[in-house]
Amino acid sequence: MTGFAQGLLTALLRDTPLITPQLFLMTVATLMLWPGDLFFNRNEKHKWAPITLVILAITAFLVTKVPDGEGFSRMFRMDGLTRGFQMLCILASAGAVTLSVKLLDSLKQQTVEYYALILFSLAGMLFLCGASDLISVYFSIELMAICIYILVAYLRDRATSVEAGMKYFLLGAFSSGILVYGISLVYGAAGGVSTNLVDINQALALTPTTSNLLVYAGVLMVLVGMAFKVAAVPFHMWAPDAYEGAPTPITAFMATAPKAAALAAFLRVFGTGFHGVSSDWVLPLCYIAGASMILGNVAAVRQESMKRLLAYSSIAHVGYMLLGVLSGDPKAGAQAVWLYMLIYIVMNTGAFAVVIYLQGKGEGERIEDFKGLGRKHPVLAFAMMIFLLSLAGIPPLVGFFGKFYLFKLAIEQGYVTLTVIALLTSAVSAYYYLGVVNQMYFKEPEGEAAPMGSGSVFIVALACILVLVGTAFGPWLLDWAGKIFWV
């Protein structure tokens, strides 16, 4: 008995360094709720934002220091893939926190819980990025998602926000059910010995042909569950409503951070765990990716709300990124997805920063509100134009570089039809992005927009410069992407 306890302790001491960032985040977030909350009175809650940013910086530093390795009964792996995507999640969270300050101020909704929830959710994402076991994938997703359900419904005196949270929660719970049922089927088909992804891959290779249907059903259900989490068509129904109802910084957050983490899990589950049975999921995933590109881009054309437009566009962008998951060479696929996600975070956060800047008192998120922005705020309009053109993938902006790299890979892997669809739909996307540019530059301004302060201006400026010059630094981006690997 003591031998067992001692073994457990040794293993715990050995493995704990792997999850230092997560432990740090959860400890600090708990301390923020109590006793931290007592230090600031009602009017000083906005001070939590800079503190959160410092915490995020420390977390990022810790992530770089964590050694490579596997631990907790091979439930969690720290490797290039984990580290790369963890950094993306932290980056996206930092963007969302910066954008939150002024908006929450003006709504008089500053609380410590808001920031703590972001940190808890981030901890879930950091786990998810490195989850190497179906069970750890599942619980990381839940940790991440439950915090976000609350954040979506954060403005609880507003019906749309609550409705969005409710919708997101119900569909999220439903999809989790499908996911966990799929996991159990796969586990059963693989002999019921282990849920570790590497073991599963080996076991699935040995399953008798009689259990093919079981494997097929299990893999498809996991696919559906994951597709829900990244909001891919046809499992995207929750996204536009949730995006529209959530406080705008949370929308920016949802469109980037959880997607980065879920894509990391997507890559690992399908690239490692189900790599051997790829014939079961490649075709359905092709349809999911193609449908996401087409429906996301086509539906965005008709939107009148800026947030819904960006929601549909994010569905389309997920469709593009799934091309990377489809790649027969998982490593190259992961690199392309990582690069695209990095670029997407920068341009999307920039675009949301402009939306928030214009929102004034939390209203006015219609596309019409951009009317005449080119006359009223030339610099802001210019930045928005850059973000939109970059989202549309117009060179030489960095969005083009990300698309180029991703589509190059897809063609190399033989997904020519899908790439042609991707490129043609990105031409369609130019139509609705330019629709916003039309409003900004070709229409006369009406009324005055309330400026929203320095935080979002800083984000806008930084993101705009990065998007403008990013392509010139292509070699560096590729170097970074080259570090995304796993076994």
Residues 128 and 144: beta-carbon distance below 8 Å: yes
Which residues have CB under 8 Å from 242's CB, separation 6+? 152, 164, 165, 167, 168, 254, 311
Pick the binder of other proteins from 33, 53, 394, 462 (CB under 8 A).
394
Measured between alpha carbons, how far is 417 from 316 in angstroms, rounded to an integer?
16
Q: Which of residues 316-375 bind other proteins (CB under 8 A)?
A: 374
Is residue 54 a contact point for other proteins (CB under 8 A)?
no
Q: Based on CB atoms, which residue is closest to other proteins, 188 or 396?
A: 396
Q: Based on CB atoms, which residue is closest to other proteins, 379 or 450?
A: 379
Q: Based on CB atoms, which residue is closest to other proteins, 36 or 435?
A: 435
Measured between alpha carbons, how far is 429 from 425 in angstroms, rounded to an integer?
6
Place of tokens 């119900």: 170
Residues 403 and 366: beta-carbon distance below 8 Å: no
Pick the binder of other proteins from 51, 298, 411, 462 (CB under 8 A).
411
Across 361-390, b (16+ Cβ under 10 Å) vs e yields: ebebbbbebbbbbbebbeebbbbbbbbbbb
Binding mask 242-281 for other proteins (x = CB under 8 A): ----------------------------------------
Neighbours of 27 (CB within 10 A): 11
Is residue 407 a contact point for other proteins (CB under 8 A)?
yes
Q: Based on CB atoms, which residue is closest to other proteins, 166 or 394?
A: 394
**Min. distance of Cβ 111 from other proteins in angstroms?**
43
Q: Which of residues 185-214 bind other proteins (CB under 8 A)?
A: none
- CA 58, 61, 67, 73 torsion: positive or negative? positive
Q: Based on CB atoms, which residue is closest to other proteins, 80 or 172?
A: 80
Q: Based on CB atoms, which residue is closest to other proteins, 12 or 472?
A: 472
- Which DSSP state fits 79? S
Residues 281 and 270: beta-carbon distance below 8 Å: yes
Measured between alpha carbons, how far is 73 from 8 in angstroms, rounded to an integer?
11
Is residue 217 a contact point for other proteins (CB under 8 A)?
no
**Min. distance of Cβ 478 from other proteins in angstroms?**
5
Binding mask 412-451 for other proteins (x = CB under 8 A): x---x--xx--xx-xxx-xx--x---x--xx---------
Q: Contact residues for other proteins (CB under 8 A)?
A: 374, 389, 394-396, 400, 404-405, 407-408, 411-412, 416, 419-420, 423-424, 426-428, 430-431, 434, 438, 441-442, 471-472, 474-475, 478, 482
